[in-house]
Structure 1
Amino acid sequence: MVKAAVLDRLWTRMSERGDFPMLSQSLRTTMAAMNNDDLDFTGLVQVVLSDFALTQKVLRLANSAMYMAFGGNITTVSRALMVLGMDAVGHLVVGLKIVDHFHHSAPRRIDAKLELNRTLLSGCVARKLTERGDLRAGEEAVVCTLMRQIGKLLVVFYLDAEWDQIRRHIDDGTLEADACVLVLGVTFDEIGAEAAVRWRLPDMIRSGMGEFDPLDVEQPRQVQWLRAITNYSTAVADVLTQQNMPDWEREERIAELAQEYSHALNTDPDVLHGMSIALAREEGGDGVMREIVELRANADAIAREALNPEARIAAGVGDLRGLPDGSALAPALALAAETVLAALGFARTVVFVKHSNGTFKARLGLGPKIDAALPKLSFNTAFEPDVFHLAIANSVGIFIENARDPKMVARLPEWFRRSFDDARAFVLLPVVDDTDQTVALLYGDWSHTQEPRRISQKEMSALNELAKELGRFFGLGQMQAMEMM
């Protein structure tokens, strides 16, 4: 029950970004076309033709040397489908759609880029392993490999603040899987499995995403083979992208993996080892490893910048500015709330939005157990001698350094004290529209379990800039849409 609630909340958060539902619909359409019993593949043709890059990829594959016996010079997607087969093209579409989606989702962040490239590299390993065999099975193996890591990608790309918390646990020595459970209450694998269900991927792919166990004799041979490729490819990609690992240790670890998986993959360990090392040496060319190496080379500098709250807030301002005028309000609110939460290491953030009846209501919140509190968080614009009414009358943010001081407690509204009795310090950022009206209020706090700190003048200036940029999204249309929610 808890897992289902967490996953539903996670999916809502991802949907608020706006682009995620488009990926889901595209994948469902692809799978529906593949599973059509009467073999009318018009739907799959339309999916391919809707994407120019995808069309070129399918046509190039159909005209490759492997398929010259079918006549060559294939110029239509329909003919390519006849040559390559529905399953092969369908799996190719699924893999490319997933990769393309994440390429365009969060291009600015170093950790997101590294995780995506690690996933792409694992796909390269899987494709190398299967390139001389059946095309359908090979593309299916690539999709399984990508999907095995989809849970982690979704967290990294869509839940910035939670991912930062997970990384802090990992830095303190917690295993990655355990850290995910500590923060989210579910594992990366469970999130990936839920994605596969919601995208209606076939049972074989969902099974192939699983953990490989060489002693498991109950699984069908095809499932075991897919799991072996998926797990080997993922493990090799992890080793190849490990930072600060000496070359001798890297080669030694890959040799161990090759030995471990050679029987399941029916491939000589030396062949497996050589293929993997060859991928690692692509760094001088145009392969995936080249970008990974470049990202790793800059990782330390970028990591230092990531620890700088002012720089992180500035990056969030840049992301907001990158959204076009007329964009939906919900993704902008989520982006601003996550930026503030992650940049300052807050326990939680809440965005209050003003409604036409003069009430500020909590629209979105991030942090532990925040969803249950949201319905209770609201206040009217009619003046009250408290800090929230002071904030909405202000043009810049205010920082309350000691929320537990008796004099300050007297200035806190009762609804706030009931819901956030553990707040140690907090910030309130008024969001003003183009008519100079306060239309929203951004709240973020540190709880009494966290180390006390102050917000510097430069950080407050950056926060005010973020709130100012957020005001751009409060047009009439967006406000009416929010009223209906």
Structure 2
Amino acid sequence: MARKIGRFNIIKELGKGTQGVVHLAIDPVLQRHVAIKSLHVANLSNAVDTKDLLLKEARTISKMEHPNIVSIYEAGEDKQHNPYLVFEYVRGQLLSDMMKHKGIMSIKNALEFLKPAIEAISYADQQNIIHCDLKPANILINDDNSPKIMDFGIARVLSEQKSKTEGFFGTPRYMPPEYIREQTITASNDSYALGIILYEMLTGKSVFFGRDIKQIINKVLHEMLAPPSRFNSDIDAQFESIILKAIDKKLDNRYHSTTELNAAIDAYLEDHGTIVIQSSKQHDAAVEFLLRRMRRKKDFPALTESLFKINKMVDEDEKGFNELAGVIVEDFALTNKILKIVNSAYYRRSGGEVKTISRAVMMLGFDAIRSIAVSLILIDHLHDKSQAKQLRDRVVSCLYSGVFAKNLADKSQIKNKEEAFLSGIFHNLGKLLAIFYFNEESLEIEQIMEEENISEDNAATQILGVSYHQLGVAIAKEWGLPGYIVNTINPYNTKVNSKRLHLNNEEKIHAISSLSNELTGLIEDNNNSEDWRKKSVNLWRQYTTQLNLKDKDLVSLADQAKEDLIDLNSILNINMSKSSIIQGLTIDEAKAEDTHTQLTDENATVLNSRQNVSDGQAIVINPGEQTQDMEVEQTVDDPETILKDGIDDISAMLTEDYSVTDIFHLCLEVMHRAFKFDHAVVCMVNNKKNIMEGKFGHGINNAFLSQFQFSLKYKADVFHLALDKGMDIFISDTTDEKIIKKIPAWYQQIIEAESFIIMPVMVKNKAIGLFYGDRFKSNELIIKQKELKLLKKLKFLAAEALIKKYQR
């Protein structure tokens, strides 16, 4: 296979047919991926006609500019005179493949994928262009779930209402009967094909299936399709009439064009108060406008960067574990909170106290720690800001939904409970951030919902231009959240999915996220007139079959989630006393029992995880516990305590199966946390190059790390002195005239730190590595004698790990 077509470098083959092939290629001039469709005319008897047909396709597509039609860039011939067309490359999957995976879809879900394609064909319709071969295999769904129509190879430009083709072109299952009989082409050809596609999406069934083309054609001409509502109860009479009119076998009874079909669907959506699904172009513009407003806020870029750093990491190997620990350790406050949570009652784990992030990742797993970090970053950012009551209420509800989802996943025996926890929290991300960044608009949305009695999604679309769910998906992608979270932010259709016998793991996570959030909403709306438990039964039963849940689980899991939330809040310190979710959970208990112990200081209530919260009271812990927590808060940053805890963790690891890299990462993490180094680096000897080189660190980037190296050939400087004598060297002020002469030139070129420590790792009196840490200002780095001894112990543990490795 030739590696070039024209100027384009071929990467791989994407598809092949009887007449030609489609390749993925790269444009070396514009540095972008393209799809190249080429024909091998040497193998064809009608080479001239084939070339003309390809050129005609190019001219047809070039007349259209629409976000849901694959764009053409250029046309040409290769050295063998084979014609080719160069298209935009769309990453994604064919609609035909997606339909096999999804099965029966709801009206809303089907239109989210197909409506923009209908609008694109309506646009072509208005240019008098008829596609003539619409089918699921000619519609690509890109990574943003937006459709792109391709293959206008047999498209026709109508100069009058009807025309005919010489011959038979297209895919019989999607051809209207009059075309099969007489090869008649009208604007109704495309609306008919779209009607068939919509029918298949809503019923999960392929129509007019046959052993051969003759049988298929016979079915297209004579077989009447059953009403789609027979297979999907989500379809009401009005929408069914739209589908049946689109696929009527008589031309005069059908929509005359795709524009008419599109108008009928728009009218239906408006009548039913459903979000009028926008074209991709309008939707993208609305989302981008909102994101621009958010990016202009001072805090949003920093929040995005923090979340993106953590979310981009993949749990593939020990490198992923160490990178996650490294990013978290950079934030000392986040580190301390995570360690409190993993050692709290909420995680109910055994095996001793966890004292370092690296150890926490190993003990609880990559996903668990990433979940805690991501949720803490978001919650810490939001819960104490402005819009206090409304925003705090929403934060508490999201947290409750997360712990409820985790308990549901545990009860349903789903492996990754952390996915459920995060999905529960982020399900209403769009609404949460709208309250924070667009507070006036969010209040207006609530007002419109009440005054006009319309859905929240419809109200949000009126005010913001997109629904809360669509905004949430856009932000989740901006933050690099995992795909399963992005998926669970979308609405879950219980009407359709409750009839399915089996759900895959991702679908179960989606169901759990939706259930936990819907139940949270019912609890928030609880009042004295009706217990939320009674209102929840019907909702609960829509999910229980696929999730292996029983009616009796509802109350116990909701109560357990409340206890977990209170346990979690002993660390998060959010004032939950007036939150809707706590009041909703305790309103019935308050009737039966009012045994709260009152403190003399205002109206605060002493609580443990089993007690209740009533209106006007603040969640606190008892005075003894509070004092203890305050002591922990005061001593958690004490270097001696951090070093001792780290030594305990590393000593425990050395009795288990470990990697040397893990031990060195853990040692550096402990040092970095204890002394809040501005830069912290681990170096190892490279015998081939005869250098000591930086391997990893904190507060650094790859460029810094690549420069942090020096030759092992002895020079009279502090680094070689440390290695030669095997001694730790602590410099409190590098600007001192006596000291500066001993600081090597390579160091002075890359670092401006005025105080640092070097600790060589020795094995058999030979330096095999070193730990380095610094502070920018002179005399900022203070290390007491006791702390120096503990640092030496850490260093010896690193050496012990190496020795044991060589002895294995």
State the TM bucket, normalised to the shorter chain: 0.5 to 0.7
**1:247 Cα deviation from its structure 2 partner:** 5.5
Residue from 248, 251, 266 that aligns with 2:548: 266
- Say whether residues 1:223 and 2:506 are aligned partners: yes
- Say whether residues 1:141 and 2:420 are aligned partners: yes
Q: Aligned equivalents of 1:94 and 1:248: distance in 2?
A: 36
Structure 1 counterpart of 2:533: 251
Deviations 1:264-304 (A, max 9, x none): 3212111123332565799999798643159979xxxxxxx
Q: Does the 8 Å CA contact 1:34/1:87 hold for their aligned counterparts?
A: no
Residue from 402, 414, 428 that aligns with 1:123: 402
Q: How does 1:39-438 map to 2 (within 5 A)?
A: 39-60=319-340, 62-63=342-343, 67-69=349-351, 72-106=352-386, 108-130=387-409, 137-172=416-451, 173-214=453-494, 215-216=496-497, 221-242=504-525, 245-246=527-528, 248-276=530-558, 290-293=577-580
**1:198 Cα deviation from its structure 2 partner:** 1.0
Structure 2 counterpart of 1:28: 308
Residue from 19, 23, 41 that aligns with 2:299: 19
Q: Does the 8 Å CA contact 1:27/1:199 hold for their aligned counterparts?
A: yes
Change (3 A) 1:175 1:94: same
Task: State the one-letter code of the partner of 1:121.
Answer: Y
Provide the secondary structure at the position in 1 that maps to 2:542. Answer: helix
Task: State the one-letter code of the partner of 2:491.
Answer: E
Task: State the one-letter code of the partner of 2:487.
Answer: S
**1:50 Cα deviation from its structure 2 partner:** 3.3
Name the structure with the higher helix share. 1
Task: State the one-letter code of the partner of 1:144.
Answer: S
Q: Aligned equivalents of 2:552 and 2:343: distance in 1?
A: 32
Change (3 A) 1:279 1:256: farther
**1:238 Cα deviation from its structure 2 partner:** 0.6
Q: Does the 8 Å CA contact 2:371/2:418 hold for their aligned counterparts?
A: yes
Q: CA RMSD in A?
A: 3.4
Q: Aligned equivalents of 2:378 and 2:477: distance in 1?
A: 15
Change (3 A) 1:200 1:220: farther
Q: Aligned equivalents of 1:48 and 1:135: distance in 2?
A: 27
Q: Does the 8 Å CA contact 1:255/1:269 hold for their aligned counterparts?
A: yes
**1:220 Cα deviation from its structure 2 partner:** 5.5
> Which deviates more from structure 2 when the two are superposed, residues 37-46 or residues 56-65?
56-65
**1:257 Cα deviation from its structure 2 partner:** 2.7
Q: Does the 8 Å CA contact 1:282/1:290 hold for their aligned counterparts?
A: no
Change (3 A) 1:148 1:73: closer
Change (3 A) 1:135 1:24: farther
Which of these two proteins has the greater Rg computed from alpha carbons?
2
Task: State the one-letter code of the partner of 2:330.
Answer: S
**1:182 Cα deviation from its structure 2 partner:** 0.8
**1:3 Cα deviation from its structure 2 partner:** 1.4
Q: Aligned equivalents of 2:576 and 2:540: distance in 1?
A: 19
Deviations 1:317-374 (A, max 9, x none): xxxxxxxxxxxxxxxxxxxxxxxxxxxxxxxxxxxxxxxxxxxxxxxxxxxxxxxxxx
Q: Does the 8 Å CA contact 2:400/2:562 hold for their aligned counterparts?
A: no
Q: Does the 8 Å CA contact 1:254/1:273 hold for their aligned counterparts?
A: no
Q: Does the 8 Å CA contact 2:424/2:513 hold for their aligned counterparts?
A: yes
Q: Aligned equivalents of 1:219 and 1:101: distance in 2?
A: 39
Change (3 A) 1:273 1:92: same
Q: Does the 8 Å CA contact 1:30/1:47 hold for their aligned counterparts?
A: yes
**1:157 Cα deviation from its structure 2 partner:** 0.9
Change (3 A) 1:253 1:280: farther
Task: State the one-letter code of the partner of 2:523.
Answer: L
Change (3 A) 1:57 1:247: farther
Name the structure with the higher strand share. 2
Q: Does the 8 Å CA contact 1:121/1:237 hold for their aligned counterparts?
A: yes
Q: Does the 8 Å CA contact 2:523/2:581 hold for their aligned counterparts?
A: no
**1:135 Cα deviation from its structure 2 partner:** 9.4
Structure 2 counterpart of 1:382: none
Task: State the one-letter code of the partner of 1:126.
Answer: A
Identity of aligned residues (%): 25
Q: Aligned equivalents of 1:47 and 1:68: distance in 2?
A: 26
Q: Does the 8 Å CA contact 2:412/2:549 hold for their aligned counterparts?
A: no
Provide the secondary structure at the position in 2 that maps to 1:230. Answer: helix
Equivalent residues, number: 293
Q: Does the 8 Å CA contact 2:502/2:546 hold for their aligned counterparts?
A: no
Change (3 A) 1:167 1:16: same
Q: Aligned equivalents of 1:284 and 1:141: distance in 2?
A: 19
Task: State the one-letter code of the partner of 2:433.
Answer: L
Change (3 A) 1:195 1:62: same
Higher RCO, 1 vs 2 (CA within 8 Å, ≥6 residues apart): 1
Q: Does the 8 Å CA contact 1:283/1:289 hold for their aligned counterparts?
A: no
Q: Does the 8 Å CA contact 2:384/2:392 hold for their aligned counterparts?
A: no
Change (3 A) 1:151 1:198: same
Task: State the one-letter code of the partner of 2:408.
Answer: L
Q: Does the 8 Å CA contact 1:255/1:273 hold for their aligned counterparts?
A: no
Task: State the one-letter code of the partner of 1:269.
Answer: D
Q: Aligned equivalents of 1:93 and 1:133: distance in 2?
A: 25
Change (3 A) 1:248 1:295: closer
> Which deviates more from structure 2 when the two are superposed, residues 46-55 or residues 225-234?
46-55
Provide the secondary structure at the position in 2 that maps to 1:146. Answer: helix
Q: Does the 8 Å CA contact 1:262/1:272 hold for their aligned counterparts?
A: no
Q: Aligned equivalents of 1:46 and 1:134: distance in 2?
A: 32
Task: Give TM-score scaled by structure 1 length.
Answer: 0.54
Q: Aligned equivalents of 1:157 and 1:167: distance in 2?
A: 15
Deviations 1:143-164 (A, max 9, x none): 1112210001111110122223
**1:66 Cα deviation from its structure 2 partner:** 5.3
Q: Aligned equivalents of 1:250 and 1:280: distance in 2?
A: 14
Change (3 A) 1:293 1:161: closer
Task: State the one-letter code of the partner of 1:201.
Answer: L
